[in-house]
Structure 1
Amino acid sequence: MSSPENLPVVSTLTEVARLMGRHQGLYVRWSRGPATDLADVSSKDALTGVPLPGLSANPLDVEDWWEDRSVELWVARRLYDYAHLPHEKGPGVRPWVLRGREIGRGPDNEPLVTEVEPLCWIAHQAIDAAEAEVARQEQEWGTLRRGGR
């Protein structure tokens, strides 16, 4: 594993899918990075300010109900879900992959993770590819609206 300051970068959905093939229990976290997050392995509820007992993250493991669909398409769907966060949380927020132990659930039912091992950054090209892939599915899937009321 690399240090948090010089993590490798994955640039494609295929690279993320390959990483998932080598490791189980992976999560993606959108933040300013492990160097910041590992100083205090805790998130904060954005609405109430209550400290949470781990880092909020989103699981990457493929669910059984996905059946034989493409892992790359699963990755696209998972990354697409939170691609809006850099716009909401400000400069320097980007996705990175970690392995860790789930300790509980946050207010949005997201996993809270401790014993964090940073694995890699996810490049903006992969996020662009995820958004394009989900857009290609829109006729079959419908739309997923993000944002306030």
Structure 2
Amino acid sequence: MTWDDLQEDEIEVDEPSELLWRNCAESWVDDGVPSKQLFLPTKKDNKQLSTARSSVVNADQHFTEFCATGSQSTGIWAVSVDELQSAQLRAVDDSKAGFSPLTGHCFVDFRQCSSGGVIQRAARALKDHALARGQQHP
């Protein structure tokens, strides 16, 4: 896949084993299990789904910082960079760009996805990986 160039202050995260933390909203949980919405970007995400890098911040600290912004989370789930790549996605660290107050902020890049169906399938695959790994915090 050919990617668009990164913006200033963005770097691609390419360590396959690195985990990306994702907070789960209560509305995304059905019978105690997160739905694919956990990894499905909304219009406001602009195909850039917020996460945080495990090499920069641990799951506990990320959860605490996220909730301190006034956002609600039922917990932290994770996918690896390798799992993103297998879904034809990439991780982009934009923490130096100043868009987010959260330590180690990065995003799952869906910008090259050609259709809503491609996005839906990728989100489902990421959710399956995260569920197999289990909730990371609390």
Highest CA radius of gyration, 1 or 2? 1
TM-score by length of 1: 0.28
TM-score by length of 2: 0.29
